[in-house]
Amino acid sequence: MHDQCPECYSYDVTTTRRGNLFLWIGLSLGVNAVLLFVVFSGVVENVILWIVGLVLLDMLITLPLMAALRITRRLHDSEMSQVVSLRRGSRRVDFATDIEWNERHKLLKVAFPVNIRADEGIHEIQFGHIRRPNHRSRPFDANRFEVCNHKWTALAEENRGCAILNESKYGVSVLGDTIALTLLKSALAPDPEADLGYQSFTYAFYAWTGSFADSDLVREGYDLNAPVSIVPGDGGQFSVLSLDAPNVIVETVKAAEDRSNALILRIYEAKRMATRCNLKFGVPVYGANECDMLENSLRDLETTADSIALDFRPFEVKTIRVKLG
């Protein structure tokens, strides 16, 4: 894969004598990440049980546009299968995971130690992100050993960075240069059967060169959580709406609550940058106004035949009512 596309990742899979799985993901920018699974047993955080066992590897796909392999292993009393895939030209490695979880009072995390030097982790939340320390030099940082994220958590330097993306796992810890995503928690209270049985989920590793502001991290997070749907049709080729600023996201498109013919767009700035952009439409626009969250009109917006000029403050959320032709 690396020989065919110099900008892509190369990867190598090896196992240690104890059976721990090391999936090395190397980039042209020099970042190395090691994938390993850790079980926290009991209620004391420092009690760690390293997972051992036989690892089976099967190469599934080796095509010019995609490569994938299957990793099968036993985790104590549970069976896990993962399909690890990489697309040509992509900087994202996906881990599609199926597991029959039969553990009790154990927490399963996947950890990615990377050689990124940073003093804070960047965690995506709704309509933006928040930065939290990745050290425990203060008592309240030690107590906050795990935090929530929505689609991704990242570590970044000025000219490069990496992130763990998820589509259904929201607990994460960042300590030093290691991002550890919580996959399963089989607590005994309040539900003694929590997380038991078959589980299916996907997470991903993504890295970039350049600044965080110029990265495609936000787009990759949406792509993992809401992939493009393809259906047969004959509608031609055009974009219903688009923005010319990659850090401004159209989060919601819906019908107006007043049952008029208007559309409601909820748009936000995702990277803490003041931005001026143009919202363009593939059909004529006959009017637009800015609303509050309850869709009460605040002010009219100046429009041309097919676009609206918008100014965003960092992390600002706008609700726009549009009347289309």
Residue 145 sits in a domain whose CATH number is: 2.70.98.30
Are residues 52 and 125 located together in one domain of the fold? yes
Residue 278 lies in a domain: yes
* Domains held by the chain: number: 2
Q: What CATH number should be reported for the domain holding residue 270?
A: 2.60.40.2220
Are residues 175 and 71 located together in one domain of the fold? yes
Residue 279 lies in a domain: yes
Are residues 36 and 146 located together in one domain of the fold? yes
- At residue 141, the pLDDT reads 79
- At residue 285, the pLDDT reads 84
Q: Which two tokens stand for residue 80?
A: 């896990």
Among 200, 225, 250, where does a domain finish? 225
Question: Tens digit of pLDDT per residue, the chain (325 long)?
Answer: 333 333 333 334 443 333 333 444 433 333 444 455 666 655 444 444 444 456 788 888 888 999 999 999 888 889 999 999 999 999 999 999 999 999 888 888 899 999 999 999 999 999 999 999 999 888 877 777 789 999 999 999 999 999 999 999 999 999 999 999 999 988 888 888 888 999 999 999 999 999 999 999 999 999 999 998 888 888 788 788 999 999 999 999 999 998 888 999 999 999 999 999 999 998 888 889 999 999 999 999 998 878 899 999 999 999 999 987 6
Residue 298 lies in a domain: yes
The CA–CA distances, whole Å, from 3 to 66, 88, 197, 294 equal 13, 11, 41, 53
Are residues 25 and 162 located together in one domain of the fold? yes
- Which string of DSSP letters, residue by residue, matches 40-70? EESS-TT-EEE----EEEEEEEEETTEEEEE
Compute the Cα dihedral for 51, 184, 12, 212 and give only its sign: negative
- Which string of DSSP letters, residue by residue, matches 62-97? EETTEEEEEEEEEETTEEEEEEEEEETT--EEEEEE
Q: What is the DSSP letter of 228?
A: P
Q: Which residue segment(s) compose the domain that 262 sits in?
A: 241-324
- At residue 25, the pLDDT reads 40
Rounded distance, CA 28 to CA 208, Å?
10
- At residue 36, the pLDDT reads 59
**With contact defined as beta carbons under 8 Å apart, do 92 and 206 qualify?**
yes
Residue 139 lies in a domain: yes
Are residues 34 and 170 located together in one domain of the fold? yes
Rounded distance, CA 137 to CA 262, Å?
52
Q: What is the DSSP letter of 3?
A: T
Residue identified by tokens 């799985």 is: 21
Rounded distance, CA 116 to CA 185, Å?
28
Residue 232 lies in a domain: no
Are residues 145 and 210 located together in one domain of the fold? yes
Are residues 178 and 288 located together in one domain of the fold? no
> Under DSSP, is residue 217 helix (H, G, I), strand (E, B) or coil?
helix
| Angle subtended at Cα 124 by Cα 175 and Cα 204, rounded to the nearest 5 degrees | 75
Strands 241-243 and 106-113: unpaired
Are residues 193 and 269 located together in one domain of the fold? no
